[in-house]
Chains A and B, each alone.
Chain A
Amino acid sequence: MAKTALQFRHNGRDVAMFVDGGTNLLVALRELIGDMTPKFGCGQGGCGTCSVLIDGELHLSCLTLAETVAGRSVETLDGMKDGPDLHPLQRAFADNFAAQCGYCTPGMLMAAKALLDRNPQPSRAEVVEAISGNICRCTGYEPIINAVLSAASGGRARA
């Protein structure tokens, strides 16, 4: 089976691999790099738990053909911490009980980061809109919305 060479930047580091035809970015990240932070939830763009940033833009890794990210920068939750320190969003999620089973959390955090990177002081409605592609079956969303708002108002010192 013919494989295609692929190189891209993964959380600030260059990675290279060979992918099978049709491999999606989620599989490439999880199975070829071992970054298990993006999750498989639906494979069809319905749940958002596989969300990653490609060149700073929120994308669904399960619907992204892996070879289309050649030469581009891919950010996942695995790159969100600053060394041992949690990102303000991560801390806000923990403090606000914004995770229950934790399975949607990687995608939620990436969607929230995509928002705050562009709009550091979003309104509540903008937060709701920003996470509208991410399904959480446990929390009922309120703690997540509160977490994003508190991370935004909590002086995004590092961002």
Chain B
Amino acid sequence: MLELRKDIFADERDDNLKEIGKGTQRQDMLGHVTGTSPYFDDHKLQGMLHLKVVRSAHSHARLRRVDTSEAERSQGVRRVIRGSDVPRNLNTLLSLINFGKDDEPSLAVDKVRYKGEPIVAIVADSPREAHEAIAKVKIDYEPLPAVFDVEDALKPGAPVVNEVYPKNTFTYHETYDRQQLRFGDADRALASADHVLEQRYQMSPIEHAPTETNGSIAAPDTNGRYLVYTSTQALFFSVDTCAKILDVPSNTFHFIGGTVGGGFGGKVDTLTEPLCILGAMLTGRPVRYVFGREEEMQYGPPRGAERIYIKDGVMHDGRVVARKVRAYFDSGAYTRLSSYAAVKCAAHLPGPYTIPNVHGDVYCVFTNRTPATAMRGFGVTAMDFAIECQMDKLAHLVGMDPMEFRILNAYRDGDMKAHRREAKNTALIECVQVAAEKAKWPIRDEFKRMSSRKDGGGVRAAVTPTPRETHTPPTTPSQQRTTYDRAPAATREPPPSPPPPPRPAAPSHGATRFSSVFGTRRR
């Protein structure tokens, strides 16, 4: 059960808390135990039609010809939707905050970039009739070489997954093929470290597997508006994304959601709403588009795979003096939210440790895999896993207890973090101390006495001179476009400030924007 350790940092807060530490009933519990909580699919509308999509059989292929004529004549079919029917058939989710270029069609037109990519949508009277029509769509594919590995995707001559990003990497600040962190001189510190340990870590994609699959129901409402029941975890985000793709003002929609049958990040991609609403617009009838379980598991976006190389320098006394990280975040065929995941990756790669020399390169890479998306700390989870495995190995290398090793290297209040911000309210030392106590793991008295509020700052707040890297001037941002792209060119971002080295205490471009969207709190 929950235990509040009020003895720690007791002076930092009131002790007569009203909510924290007390059990409070969920406001939706009564609905849950009586089965009356309204999920999107719990709406049966008069004359509702069913939408299913035809998915690509190939991971990477040119679409020579898509013939829907027989499907259109199939029994019960009300409408066949093609990419050309989508008002703006190219979008990237974070375009709403001017981050990244539109790179993903709602329905593929010239080319498919992952197995299962939607090509045609069919709206029919029954799911069965939609499935029968799907079998009648004839697609002539010209298979292209596919790339499934992040490092292979960066090799010269690798297949170009997404023409919007011809180098197979997301473009940061219209210039950089990676997210960088430069603090001090990692190479020099590695050269003079007592031990150097380089390791490779990786994590496979992980499916959220929500019990409720992704889906939505859209219905024509009075006065030209559309009522939309959706499983989305990001209701307003979804409204705006639909308004953009369907090229209508966002007040065209009345979105109803909020009761989500498990999301875990996998329901932020607005996967079903645009086509569902378009189906309702084109037929004048309520339309339901729900993923089957196989669709959810195979083609619903997973947590993206990561591969991480860490090279650390450590001294005999246990101090980590240098960390060099190269990480690859597998975005799959489209950006979705992985560009942001890589930013978070870069932010987390020093770990909660004071390391005077840190050098990080994090790539958001495009491959012919299912596009990845958000999932519970995405961009952080794999990096933290790698870092903590590495910390255990480093402790072993210098013959230190792993708990004491972490206490020794932990941030203390007043230290300078590799992001050039002062560490505040750090508390890791106390966490490790309590964890050791709970696990009955013996640590020496001197480590029990250490505190995150003592001995920080001073030399630990110094910024080691950081060598400037010569930077090749940016080539013209790629705007190579294909014929499916009916959307105007993506809004250009405001001129970026040169990232390395950022000005101390200046919040990075990405972080400011994301905090407003994802509610990232700053301490």
Q: How many A-B contacts are there with CB distance less than 8 Å?
A: 95
Give Cα A135–Cα B263 distance, bound, in whole angstroms.
14
B262 close to A36 (CB less than 8 A):
no
Scoring B residues 102 to 146 as 1 if CB is less than 8 Å from chain A, else 0, what string do you get?
A: 000000000000000000000000101000000000000000000
B44 close to A41 (CB less than 8 A):
no
User: Considering residues A20, A30, A42, A43, which has the most beta carbons from chain B within 10 angstroms of its beta carbon?
Assistant: A42
Cross-interface CB contact of A40 among B23, B32, B41, cutoff 8 Å: B41
Q: Does A114 lie at the interface of the complex (its beta carbon under 8 Å from any beta carbon of B)?
A: no
Q: Decide: A103 near B34, CB < 8 A? Known: A40-B41, A44-B293, A137-B262.
A: no
Cross-interface CB contact of B211 among A93, A101, A109, cutoff 8 Å: A101
Tell me the chain A residues, 113-141 only, with Cβ under 8 Å from chain B: 135-138
Chain B residue with the shortest CB-CB distance to A77: B35
Q: Does B260 lie at the interface of the complex (its beta carbon under 8 Å from any beta carbon of A)?
A: yes
Cross-interface CB contact of B37 among A80, A91, A102, A136, cutoff 8 Å: A102
B residues near A38, Cβ cutoff 8 Å: 35
Q: Does A61 lie at the interface of the complex (its beta carbon under 8 Å from any beta carbon of B)?
A: no
B residues near A106, Cβ cutoff 8 Å: 35
- The 9 tightest CB contacts between A and B, nearest first, are A102-B32, A103-B261, A37-B35, A42-B293, A99-B32, A77-B35, A36-B42, A90-B33, A106-B35
Question: Could you write out 19 A-B pairs with CB less than 8 Å apart?
Answer: A30-B42, A31-B44, A37-B34, A39-B39, A40-B212, A40-B290, A41-B212, A43-B292, A93-B32, A101-B261, A101-B262, A102-B32, A102-B261, A103-B261, A103-B262, A106-B35, A109-B35, A137-B209, A137-B210
Tell me the chain B residues, 232-268 only, with Cβ under 8 Å from chain A: 259-264
Min CB distance B1 to A, Å, is 12
A99 close to B209 (CB less than 8 A):
no
Give Cα A94–Cα B32 distance, bound, in whole angstroms.
9
Scoring A residues 34 to 69 as 1 if CB is less than 8 Å from chain B, else 0, what string do you get?
A: 101111111110110100000000000000000000
Q: Does B470 lie at the interface of the complex (its beta carbon under 8 Å from any beta carbon of A)?
A: no
User: Considering residues B25, B32, B39, B208, which has the most beta carbons from chain A within 10 angstroms of its beta carbon?
Assistant: B32
A residues near B23, Cβ cutoff 8 Å: 97
Give Cα A80–Cα B28 distance, bound, in whole angstroms.
18
Q: Does B438 lie at the interface of the complex (its beta carbon under 8 Å from any beta carbon of A)?
A: no
Tell me the chain B residues, 206-227 only, with Cβ under 8 Å from chain A: 208-213
Q: Decide: A103 near B29, CB < 8 A? Known: A43-B293, A86-B34, A137-B262.
A: no
A138 close to B33 (CB less than 8 A):
no
B residues near A80, Cβ cutoff 8 Å: 34
Min CB distance A85 to B, Å, is 11
Min CB distance A29 to B, Å, is 11
The contact size tier of chain B is 20 to 34
Q: Is the interface of A mostly helix, strand, loop or mixed?
A: loop
Q: Does A150 lie at the interface of the complex (its beta carbon under 8 Å from any beta carbon of B)?
A: no
B128 close to A49 (CB less than 8 A):
no
Scoring B residues 11 to 36 as 1 if CB is less than 8 Å from chain A, else 0, what string do you get?
A: 00000000000010110111111111
Chain B residue with the shortest CB-CB distance to A138: B262
A residues near B262, Cβ cutoff 8 Å: 101, 103, 137-138
A residues near B208, Cβ cutoff 8 Å: 137
User: Considering residues A109, A136, A137, A138, which has the most beta carbons from chain B within 10 angstroms of its beta carbon?
Assistant: A137
B44 close to A136 (CB less than 8 A):
no
Cross-interface CB contact of A20 among B33, B42, B126, cutoff 8 Å: B126
Q: Give residues in B with beta carbon < 8 Å to A.
A: 23, 25-26, 28-37, 39, 41-42, 44, 126, 128, 208-213, 259-264, 290, 292-293
Cross-interface CB contact of A94 among B25, B41, B42, B292, cutoff 8 Å: B25
Chain A residue with the shortest CB-CB distance to B212: A103
Cross-interface CB contact of B33 among A31, A34, A42, A99, cutoff 8 Å: A99
Min CB distance B58 to A, Å, is 25
Q: Does A22 lie at the interface of the complex (its beta carbon under 8 Å from any beta carbon of B)?
A: yes
Give Cα A78–Cα B260 distance, bound, in whole angstroms.
20
Cross-interface CB contact of A36 among B26, B35, B211, B264, cutoff 8 Å: B35
Give Cα A46–Cα B37 distance, bound, in whole angstroms.
22
B residues near A100, Cβ cutoff 8 Å: 26
Q: Decide: A137 near B35, CB < 8 A? Known: A43-B292, A103-B211.
A: no
Chain B residue with the shortest CB-CB distance to A32: B44
Scoring A residues 103 to 114 as 1 if CB is less than 8 Å from chain B, else 0, what string do you get?
A: 111100100000
Give Cα A31–Cα B261 distance, bound, in whole angstroms.
19
Give Cα A75–Cα B261 distance, bound, in whole angstroms.
22
A residues near B211, Cβ cutoff 8 Å: 39, 41, 47, 49, 101, 103-104, 135-137
Q: Does A72 lie at the interface of the complex (its beta carbon under 8 Å from any beta carbon of B)?
A: no
Min CB distance B315 to A, Å, is 41
B293 close to A30 (CB less than 8 A):
no
B213 close to A105 (CB less than 8 A):
no
Chain A residue with the shortest CB-CB distance to B259: A102
B30 close to A94 (CB less than 8 A):
yes
Chain B residue with the shortest CB-CB distance to A76: B35
User: Considering residues B25, B31, B33, B212, which has the most beta carbons from chain A within 10 angstroms of its beta carbon?
Assistant: B33
B residues near A93, Cβ cutoff 8 Å: 32-33
A residues near B126, Cβ cutoff 8 Å: 20
A residues near B32, Cβ cutoff 8 Å: 93-94, 99, 102, 105
Give Cα A125–Cα B456 distance, bound, in whole angstroms.
51
